[in-house]
Amino acid sequence: MADNSTRTDLFSPVKLGKIELANRIVMAPLTRGRVNEEGVPNELNVTYYVQRASAGLIISEATNISAQGRGYAMTPGIWTERQVAEWRKVTDAVHAAGGKIVMQLWHVGRNSHVDLQPNGASPVAPSAIKAGGNVYTAKGIQEPSIPRALNTDEILGIIEQYRHAAEYAKLAGFDGVEIHSANNYLLEQFIRDSTNHRTDQYGGSIENRVRLVLEVVEAVTGVWGSGRVGIRLSPVTTEVGNTPLDSNIMETYGYLIQQLNPFKLAYLHFVEGTTGKDRIAPENVDLDILRSLFEGAYIGNNNYDLEMAISRRSESKIDAVAFGRPFISNPDLVNRLRYSIELTSTNSDTHYGHGEKGYIDWPNANY
């Protein structure tokens, strides 16, 4: 049986900030819709994450930082003590299996519906611009509701939601947290001038539009320390909600990345292209140039296969690589990649909300 560890160091230990990984294969965050309407994890979730603990690092499914931050039914949260207690069962089990896991902190912003919001309130956003696409509610698939623009004096409350969630993730036993500033959820809605039409200190100039992200990073690193906080960015994705790109991607994200460097974050997790679809960038955008501006560890993400990962690692273009969908149907993905064992195909019909089926019933390969 061929051992690909002789060709690459992807299967060797690495340290991202203060987080020590057994290998450079990262499990990307994957929304699976397997919790209750209170956002509380359960024993199915424990089993699911433990099955995948051979990943060098697991990034949890996107986890709502507050009831207001919720945009999809049956997604987990991290703002109540009960959520903390049940997440603790997940982290304890992953650690017992030798794995490492960080929590991805999530506020969806405008990508929500009044049925998902406390007291049927409107979703919040930088500006009152309706999102495209759909969201999933207890009543089924619906279009997002028209959001309301956050008042300036409410933004401190958003930052506090992130800080509180970071505190609770620590209590839940995670090895760190990842700030979800990608896929056109709340933080990226502030970054892009296509979704941010504000005229206060959080809108207009690039410096103003990235202000909230940097304030959130400051708050979260204040809880965890820089070496256990990562961030996810997606400069050229239109997902979710068919969101238009920023008018000057290189300048906007280049500035943001350089402003992140003083925080000495554990890593930058970068969506290279359109999330889950393709690796294409506009002609005037060079994602490798943006990547090179970050002074810490870099996790590449989006439609990687082993050969691409080996190639980009050999060119020092990635420090680690994140796989998403392959981890759904291949809980032992690390060993399958290491020993060139055929991957099991996933079934999109069971990606969301089908109990055990398509969630914890995938077999390991014979080695």
pLDDT at position 366, please? 78
pLDDT at position 354, please? 83
Would you say residue 27 lies in a domain?
yes
Would you say residue 300 lies in a domain?
yes
pLDDT, one tens digit per residue, over 253-300 is 999 999 999 999 999 999 999 998 899 999 999 999 999 999 999 999
pLDDT at position 315, please? 97
Would you say residue 244 lies in a domain?
yes
Residue 205 bridge partners (DSSP): none
Averaged over successive runs of 10 residues, the pLDDT of the chain (367 residues) comes to 93 98 98 96 98 98 98 97 98 98 98 98 98 93 97 98 98 98 98 98 98 98 97 97 96 98 98 92 95 98 97 97 98 97 93 93 88
Would you say residue 357 lies in a domain?
no
pLDDT at position 61, please? 98
- The owner of tokens 């974050």 is 265
Residue 204 neighbours by CB distance under 10 Å: 14
Would you say residue 272 lies in a domain?
yes
Q: Please state, in angstroms and rounded to a whole number, the distance separating the CA atoms of residues 127 and 122.
A: 12
Number of domains in the chain: 1
Domain of 241 in residue numbering reads as 9-320
Is 48 marked active-site?
Answer: no
What is the DSSP track for 112-131? --GGGSGGGPPPEESSS---
In angstroms, how far is the first alpha carbon of the chain from the final one? Answer: 8
Write the CA distances from 366 to 6, 305, 335, integer angstroms: 21, 21, 10
Would you say residue 339 lies in a domain?
no
Catalytic residue selected from 48, 136, 162, 185: 185
Would you say residue 3 lies in a domain?
no
Q: Please state, in angstroms and rounded to a whole number, the distance separating the CA atoms of residues 227 and 31.
A: 25
pLDDT at position 53, please? 98
Is 123:112 a contact under the CB 8 Å cutoff?
A: yes
pLDDT, one tens digit per residue, over 33-67 is 999 999 999 999 999 999 999 999 999 999 999 99
Residue 171 neighbours by CB distance under 10 Å: 14
Burial 249-270, CB ≥16 within 10 A → b, else e: bbebbbbbbebbeebebbbbbb
Would you say residue 57 lies in a domain?
yes
Reduced to 3 states (helix: H, G, I; strand: E, B; else coil), residue 333 is helix
- CATH code, 107: 3.20.20.70
